[in-house]
Structure 1
Amino acid sequence: MRRRIMGWFSAGLISLGVGHAVACSVPAPALSIDPPGFYDDPAGYAQAVKPMRGFVDRLNKAADSNQWSCALDLLEGWARADALMGPIAGYQGYYERSWAGTDFALVLLRLPKDVSSANEQRLRIITPWLARIAVATRDADAINHLHNNLVYWAGLNLVAIGTVARQQELVEAGLARAREGIRDIGPRGELEREIKRGDRALHYHTFALIPLVFAAELAQRHGVDLYQENHGAIGRLANLVIQAVQDPSSFARITPVEQKPFPWTFQDELSWMEPYYAHTRDKRLPTLIAPRRPFNEWRLGGNVTAAWGAVLPR
């Protein structure tokens, strides 16, 4: 991935080292993930996802501090237990497992080449588990019937894990889902299904954009330019969101409903701006990116700025 982040930030990361000095205890594997819906029972949801989110947080912090041995300990421990692969009775668990698998894959895509080469045996344990997560995501009717942002996130899951596992059929399944999202983008950058979210429409446009940008970035590794598809549709959606960040009232041209973004909508869920700026050099973005750095998103491997960021103009 791109390592073009500001010099001071890179130096700070390098100073943390790659050694084995930090003790790494692997949390007990969460064998299944089956919380109540995020909106159905917020308190029950928050409690049920704690074990998985705690693991993700520990994994991402290990990656952010270049503690790659610890990161691999964590992933191997959960892989050996086939974590998160237990039955799901509801629907939210399918989304959570998809997001977690995406994060795990993006952490592995941050691995330095020498670390990957030295740990091939461990990766042979981890990657089949990730592939099982991807197949379960691909086949999840609880996601596939929605035809909304969660399908696009499933697409990123499949492209990311397929890239790590070198399974082209998973990559192709992911590209198909990302392309569904790209086809959904209208002439003004709007997503009709996300407009139906009422006062959360702006939030869900932003949330839908994240997997499309990251899928487009990974697709380039496979010789596919998703940015050009549907007449540059990702760019239209990005432009809509950029304008809304600059002036939230601009979103009124998409829907007259007054918007109520979450606190994180215009913070870490703008993490897509890092790879998008590196790709496009959109002159509007540095002033939006700089005060928000570093971007940290639990679904995207931790510190997105460190992994994907470009040097900003002074």
Structure 2
Amino acid sequence: MKHILAILILSVITTGSSFAQARMTGVLDVEQRRAALAQSAFASIRAACLAIPREASWTTLKPIAALKATEGYGTDGSANDYAWAVMVLTGRALAGDVQSETSLRDLLLNWAKANAFARTEVENDAYYALKRVLLPTVVGYSIIQGGLDDEQRRVIAAWIDPLVRKVDHIFDGSVDHNNHRYLTDSVLMAWGAVAGDEALYSKGIERYRAILAEARADGSLPLETRRGARALWYMRQSLSSMTVIAEIAAARGTDLYALSHNDVTYDRVLSYTLNGITEPRIVLAYASENYIPGDESDFRKADLGFLAKRGHGRHYMAWVEPVVARDRGGLATRRLKALFARSIKNERPLIDEFAGGNATCIWGR
């Protein structure tokens, strides 16, 4: 642990100015972002924060006691309405909509008092569903906590904290090393940043380093590229969690985007994924292992469905927002910006649990 903290301190000292000037905050610097959204240059981004209307019925959503494992391939989606409400209300609250901030407060308080999700089955699939819900919940709380009184903060934090610690669970098999674990540690880090728990926060840093160490020289991730038709699907999902971890670290002045292990960087992983999107055949040698490929059994038919908005408003490429917003050089970033401008930008606002919510609102430029 001392070694990790020393690395964090050194990173803060040696990082570039865009990171070094960031203030110590939670998931993001809320006041700084609100100030930016008030500027005329951010008018289109503020509009993206408010693009989805607030629904009065959201505050009366019935709390869910437990998420459950599903039969076969898939995830319990019973909390989708709750997650969507949280993500939409969070964006609206960040943009200064007082009614939405009040609605989000009431929603979180109601579910906290009901101890929602506390009886979630101790199964990998069920915990995966819980982690997807927890990330936007933590981000939402992070954004409105300044407007809560002490008792409201205590009630909501006392609900979130044990749920976050619950998902820090070791299951048998590769799920404790692949994108499932990346999502776990993004949740732990986010809550650690909000709650001031350095042990939880450091799990995100450790996982980020582990991802780079496990990557092949070409930037591919072995446990993701073996997934048949969904090899690129899970490469993209891994990048989503890596991006969330990097952005939380950036709020503390730590530049994980520049971190390198044996010449593998974030951009190397990104570049491999972009290469695969452009020419899916490059992943076939790895994808041919066809490990839990999903609905498509033919590993040669790459699933690129993540490039389009999903049926219920979410977009799996929401993680792109903070990456293209940063003034970073490099071919991978330029290629991502080109893809964003060509195929993704018109889908704004980009909202997704894996990115913590309305990523256009939180990070977009």
- Range into which the TM-score falls when normalised by the shorter chain: 0.7 to 0.9
Partner of 1:219: 249
Q: CA deviation at 1:71?
A: 1.0
Change in CA separation of 1:208 and 1:181 when aligned onto 2, cut-off 3 Å: same
Deviations 1:220-244 (A, max 9, x none): 3345433214145221111112233
Q: 1:276 to 1:232 in 2, by over 3 A?
A: farther
SS at match of 2:68: coil
User: CA contact under 8 A between 2:183 and 2:354: conserved in structure 1?
Assistant: no
Match of 1:236 in 2: 268
- Unaligned stretches of 5+ in structure 2? 1-27, 94-99, 289-298, 310-314
Residues 15 and 183 of structure 1, relative CA distance in 2, 3 Å threshold: closer
Contact 2:65/2:120 (8 A) holds in 1: no
Partner Cα separation in structure 2 for residue 35 and residue 139 of structure 1: 15
Matched, 1:102 2:135: yes
Q: Give TM-score, length-normalised by structure 1.
A: 0.82
SS in 2 for 1:99: helix
Aligned counterpart, 2:208: 178
Match of 1:157 among 180, 187, 194: 187
Q: Cα–Cα, structure 1 residues 110 and 289, in superposed 2: closer, same or farther, change >3 Å?
A: farther
Q: How far does residue 158 in structure 1 lie from its aligned partner after superposition? A: 0.4
The equivalent of 2:318 in structure 1 is 271
For 1:301, the aligned partner's letter is G
Indicate conservation of the 8 Å contact 1:60/1:303, yes or no. yes
Partner of 1:209: 239
Contact 2:240 2:319 in 1 (8 A): yes
Mapped partners of 1:184, 1:238: distance in 2? 15
The AA in structure 1 aligned to 2:300 is E
Q: 1:182 to 1:110 in 2, by over 3 A?
A: farther
Partners of 2:286 and 2:172 lie apart in 1 by 28
CA contact (8 A) 1:163 1:171 kept: yes
**2: distance between equivalents of 1:79 and 1:226?**
33
Instruction: Mark the CA change 1:121 to 1:78 in structure 2 (over 3 Å): closer, same or farther.
Output: same
Contact 1:186 1:233 in 2 (8 A): no
In structure 2, C-alpha distance between the alignment counterparts of 1:254 and 1:307, rounded to whole Å:
35
Aligned residue among 77, 80, 91 for 1:64: 91
CA contact (8 A) 1:60 1:107 kept: yes
**Which ranges in structure 1 are unaligned for 5 or more consecutive residues?**
none
AA aligned to 1:54 is: D
Kindly report which structure 2 residues correspond to 1:91-130, keeping only aligned pairs within 5 A, or say none.
91-111=124-144, 116-130=146-160
Structure 1 contact 62–71 (Cα < 8 Å) conserved: yes
1:176-224 Cα offsets, whole Å, 9 max, x none, are 2333222222211111111221221111111111101110111233454
Q: Answer with 97-106 or 259-268: which moved more.
A: 259-268
Q: Which residue of 1 aligns with 2:224?
A: 194
Shifted more, 296-305 versus 240-249: the winner is 240-249
Contact 2:63-2:116 at 8 Å conserved across structures? yes
Return the alpha-carbon distance in structure 1 between the equivalents of residues 234 and 127 of structure 2: 18
Work out whether residues 94 and 142 of structure 1, in 8 Å CA contact, stay in contact via their aligned partners in 2: no
The answer on whether the counterparts of 1:75 and 1:126 sit within 8 Å (CA) in structure 2 is yes
Give the Cα–Cα distance (whole angstroms) in 2 for the partners of residues 21 and 35 of structure 1: 29
* Residues 106 and 15 (structure 1), Cα distance of their counterparts in 2 relative to 1, 3 Å cut: closer
Question: Which of 28, 31, 34 is the equivalent residue of 2:62?
Answer: 28
Q: Which residue of 1 aligns with 2:339?
A: 288
Aligned length: 299
Call closer, same or farther: CA 1:234–1:271 in 2, change over 3 Å: same
RMSD (Å), alpha carbons: 3.1
